[in-house]
Amino acid sequence: MKHLPICGRPTFIEITPRRGKCEDCDGGATTTQQANWYERNSEYTKAYEKHAVISLIHSTIADVAIKEDLSCAAVQGIIDRHVVTEVNWDQIKKIGLLGIDEISLKKGFRDFVTVLTAKTEAEVQMLGVLKGREKATVTAFLKTMPKRLRRTISAVCTDMYEGFINGAREALGQDIPVIIDRFHVAQLYRKGFVQIRKSELKRLQKELSREEYQRLKPAIAVLLLRQ
């Protein structure tokens, strides 16, 4: 089964679970050893599946499939297996930075799931994957978080979707700061620079000669992108 990469190299684990036979049971029933780091008949370890889901944040199924050398159907299957409505909070010691991100499962930003993560100094831990991105779904999930963990939240990091922002404030209170993911902020200001570049080039094309315009065009594009 596929495991987390080591030094950038794909890693696979081969395991032959022990089998036991109960001589005191009718028919001599057998049982197979089961470890907690993988699911029976799965092609991936639990750690690798969580790694794949987290990789989908700010990316697409197709991109992750190429990067991880998986089929899109395999990535979709991993997502489906991790969709939950509740989490065993007893296994979580600390939240730190609570991340709320959406993943579009289809082109054109349709059919969403919401990924919730906890980022501490040590690691990024996946808390759960929720079907859809509705405020009510996110709010209901966060309200199940015990008070001991709410006290460990330093901030909530999300995009500018009001459903996530309002859902976090309703479930966790107004005292926990909500910050906007820098990925989405960067998208906005880059969009502005692209619009400025296009408008300036269009203006200069009218005002300058063809030779002057062709000479200045690369320099203007580079200058604006450096801002």
pTM value surpassing 0.85:
no
> Where in the chain are the domains?
1-82, 83-180, 186-225
Which residue blocks in the chain are alpha helix, DSSP H?
46-55, 61-68, 72-82, 135-143, 147-150, 162-172, 182-207, 210-225
pLDDT digits (tens, 9 = 90+) for 130-157: 998 899 999 999 999 999 999 999 999 9
The most distant pair of C-alpha atoms in the chain lies apart, rounded to whole Å, by 96
Instruction: Please give the pLDDT value at position 111.
Output: 78
- Give the single-character DSSP code of 57: T
pLDDT digits (tens, 9 = 90+) for 158-189: 988 899 999 999 999 999 999 988 776 676 76
Third-level CATH fold of 83-180: Nucleotidyltransferase; domain 5 (3.30.420)
Instruction: Please give the pLDDT value at position 23.
Output: 77
Per the CB < 8 A criterion, the answer to whether 144 and 84 are in contact is no
* Sign of CA pseudo-dihedral 23, 24, 27, 33: negative
Instruction: Please give the pLDDT value at position 117.
Output: 93
- Bridge partners, 114 (sequence order): 102, 130
Least confident of 26-35, 88-97, 196-205, 211-220: 211-220
